[in-house]
C-alpha cells in the first residue's frame, strides 16, 4: 500500500497542495516552519483521524479558514478523504462512503511514524508500548479491534462496580467475560511480539551490533495464574483502590540490555536507533505475514544521528521496499542515498524538484 496522490487544503500553513509521491523514498525539505512536518501530519490524519503533534485538532486548520480538507488515492485504487471543521465535526470518507468506524482508515493505510518524540516508546510509561504492540495485533487480525473494544468496556464497568463496592458475586460475572476476552487479546499480542523478534534481531544487529538487547512481552499479570483466578484473588485489593490493578490493560514490551532497562544503558543516539529498529520491524513483519505494505513517516531524520547512522537508517528503510517520507532542513544532510522524488517546501508551498 502506498499513496499515489495526496491533496492538502487549508491545513496549517499549507493553503493548497497536490503531490504525486513515489512509491519508494520521498524527501521533503525546507527550513524550520516551512510546512514540511505538516505534510507528514496530513498523511497521519488520513490514517488515524487525528494529529501526532497536538490533541487539539482544530489547531491544524489554517487560521483564516473554517475547515481543512485532506484526500489521498492509494496505489491499489482506494480513496480516503477527511474534512475537519473548526467546531469539531468530522467528515470521513472511504471510496465516497462513510466508514462504520474510524479504524477502517488505519486498516487501509498502515503507518509507522519516526520522529523526535518517538523516544516516548522507550522513556515513557507502558501505554505507548502497548499501543505499539496493538498496532501489529490490529493489522494481523481483523477481530482484534472488536475484542479490544469489548475488553475496554468490561474493564470500565468492573472499575465502576469496584468504586461502588458492589457484591463480589456481581463483579464475578464481569470477571468471567473479562478473562475470556483478556486471554484472547494476550494470545494475539504475544504471537505478534514473537513474530516481531525474528525481524527485529537482524535489524538490531545492523544498527547496534555490539549491544545485547533482549525484547520480551509482559502480559500484565503473573503468567502462572489464570486471569479469572487472578481477578478473584485480587478483588479485595481492587475494591480498596477502586480500579483493576492487573490484567491485559497493564501489558508491556520490555527491552533490556544486560538485564537492565535499555533506556538506562544506551545513549540518546543508540535509543533513537533502537526505536527506529522497532518501527521498521513492524512494517517488515506486516509484509511477511499479511503481504501488505506499510508507509513510513520520518520527521527530522538528521536529528541526533551522525552521518554513518543516517546512512544506515536510510538503507534499512530502502531495503523494506515500502513507501517512505523523510523530512529534513538541508537535502545535503541526506545525500547518501538516491531519492525517488524530492519536494521543496517554502511558506506552505510545495514544489516537486527534478534531480
CATH classification of the domain holding 323: 3.40.50.300
Separation in Å, CA 355 to CA 23, 109, 326, 345: 17, 29, 16, 16
Considering the domain architecture, whether residues 102 and 185 belong to the same structural domain is answered as no
Considering the domain architecture, whether residues 306 and 210 belong to the same structural domain is answered as no
Considering the domain architecture, whether residues 202 and 301 belong to the same structural domain is answered as no
Q: What percent of the chain has pLDDT over 90?
A: 65
36 is in an annotated binding site: yes
Question: Of 290, 321, 337, which residue constitutes the final position of a domain?
Answer: 290
- Cell numbers of 106, please? 488505519
Per the structure, the complete domain to which residue 325 belongs is given by 1-110+293-354
Considering the domain architecture, whether residues 273 and 307 belong to the same structural domain is answered as no
SS3 (DSSP) at 70: strand
Considering the domain architecture, whether residues 144 and 262 belong to the same structural domain is answered as yes
Considering the domain architecture, whether residues 164 and 27 belong to the same structural domain is answered as no
Domain CATH number, residue 126: 1.20.1050.90
Element (H, E) at 91: strand 90-94
194 is in an annotated binding site: no
35 is in an annotated binding site: yes
List, for residues 273-332, the tens digit of each pLDDT value.
899 999 999 999 998 888 888 999 999 877 777 888 888 889 999 999 999 999 998 888
Considering the domain architecture, whether residues 277 and 303 belong to the same structural domain is answered as no
34 is in an annotated binding site: yes
pLDDT of residue 354: 78
Overall domain count for the chain: 2
Question: Of 267, 290, 313, which residue constitutes the final position of a domain?
Answer: 290
Considering the domain architecture, whether residues 269 and 319 belong to the same structural domain is answered as no
Query: Which positions ≥6 away from 85 have C-beta within 8 Å?
Result: 66, 67, 91
**pLDDT string in tens for the chain (355-residue length):** 899 999 999 999 999 999 999 999 999 999 988 999 999 999 999 999 888 888 877 788 988 899 999 999 998 899 999 999 988 788 999 999 999 888 999 999 999 999 888 888 988 889 999 999 999 999 999 999 999 999 999 999 999 999 999 999 999 999 999 999 999 999 999 999 999 888 888 888 888 888 888 899 999 999 999 999 999 999 999 999 999 999 999 999 999 988 888 888 888 888 888 999 999 999 999 988 888 889 999 998 777 778 888 888 899 999 999 999 999 988 888 888 889 999 999 999 999 987 6
198 is in an annotated binding site: no
- Cell numbers of 341, please? 522524488
The DSSP result for 65-118, as a single string, is -SEEEEEEEETTS-EEEEEEETTS-EEEEETTB--SSTHHHHHHS-EEEE-GGG
Considering the domain architecture, whether residues 44 and 154 belong to the same structural domain is answered as no
Separation in Å, CA 258 to CA 59, 265, 346: 44, 9, 47
Considering the domain architecture, whether residues 234 and 321 belong to the same structural domain is answered as no
Exposed/middle/buried for residue 283 (C-beta within 10 Å: 0-12, 13-18, 19+)? buried
Picking from 4, 34, 55, the residue whose alpha carbon sits closest to that of residue 293 is 4
Distance CA 324, CA 321 (A): 9
Separation in Å, CA 253 to CA 55, 129, 135, 197: 25, 6, 13, 11
Residues across the chain: 355
31 is in an annotated binding site: yes
Considering the domain architecture, whether residues 46 and 86 belong to the same structural domain is answered as yes
Considering the domain architecture, whether residues 317 and 220 belong to the same structural domain is answered as no
Question: Of 274, 290, 306, which residue constitutes the final position of a domain?
Answer: 290
SS3 (DSSP) at 226: coil
Amino acid at each position: 500500500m502506498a499513496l499515489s496522490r495526496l491533496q492538502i487544503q487549508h491545513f496549517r500553513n499549507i493553503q493548497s497542495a497536490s503531490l504525486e509521491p513515489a512509491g519508494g523514498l520521498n524527501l521533503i525539505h525546507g527550513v524550520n516552519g516551512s510546512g514540511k512536518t505538516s505534510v507528514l501530519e496530513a498523511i497521519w490524519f488520513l490514517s488515524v483521524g487525528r494529529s501526532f503533534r497536538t490533541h487539539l485538532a482544530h489547531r491544524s486548520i489554517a487560521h483564516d479558514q473554517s475547515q481543512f480538507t485532506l484526500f489521498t488515492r492509494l496505489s491499489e485504487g482506494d480513496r480516503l478523504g477527511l474534512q475537519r471543521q473548526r467546531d469539531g465535526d468530522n467528515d470521513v470518507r472511504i471510496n465516497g462512503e462513510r466508514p462504520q468506524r474510524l479504524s477502517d482508515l488505519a486498516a487501509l493505510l498502515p503507518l509507522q511514524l519516526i520522529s523526535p518524540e518517538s523516544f516516548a516508546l522507550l522513556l515513557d510509561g507502558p501505554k505507548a508500548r502497548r499501543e505499539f504492540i496493538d498496532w501489529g495485533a490490529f493489522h494481523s487480525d481483523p477481530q482484534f479491534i472488536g475484542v479490544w473494544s469489548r475488553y475496554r468496556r468490561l474493564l470500565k464497568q468492573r472499575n465502576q462496580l469496584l468504586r461502588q463496592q458492589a457484591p463480589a458475586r456481581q463483579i464475578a460475572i464481569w470477571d468471567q467475560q473479562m478473562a475470556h476476552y483478556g486471554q484472547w487479546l494476550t494470545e494475539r499480542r504475544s504471537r505478534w511480539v514473537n513474530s516481531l523478534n525474528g525481524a527485529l534481531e537482524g535489524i538490531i544487529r545492523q544498527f547496534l551490533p555490539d549491544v545485547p538487547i533482549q525484547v520480551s512481552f509482559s502480559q500484565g499479570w503473573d503468567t502462572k495464574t489464570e486471569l479469572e483466578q487472578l481477578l478473584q484473588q485480587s478483588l479485595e485489593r481492587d475494591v480498596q483502590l477502586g480500579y483493576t490493578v492487573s490484567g491485559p490493560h497493564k501489558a508491556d514490551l520490555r527491552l533490556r540490555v544486560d538485564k537492565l532497562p535499555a533506556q538506562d544503558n544506551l545513549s540518546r543516539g543508540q535509543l533513537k536507533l533502537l526505536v527506529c529498529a522497532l518501527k521498521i520491524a513492524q512494517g517488515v513483519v506486516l509484509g511477511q505475514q499479511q503481504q501488505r505494505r506499510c508507509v513510513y513517516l520520518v520527521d527530522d531524520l538528521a536529528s541526533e544521528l551522525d552521518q554513518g547512522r543516517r546512512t544506515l537508517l536510510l538503507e534499512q528503510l530502502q531495503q523494506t521496499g515500502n513507501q517512505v517520507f523523510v523530512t529534513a532542513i538541508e537535502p545535503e544532510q541526506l545525500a547518501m542515498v538516491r531519492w525517488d522524488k524530492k519536494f521543496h517546501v517554502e511558506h506552505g508551498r510545495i514544489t516537486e524538484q527534478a534531480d
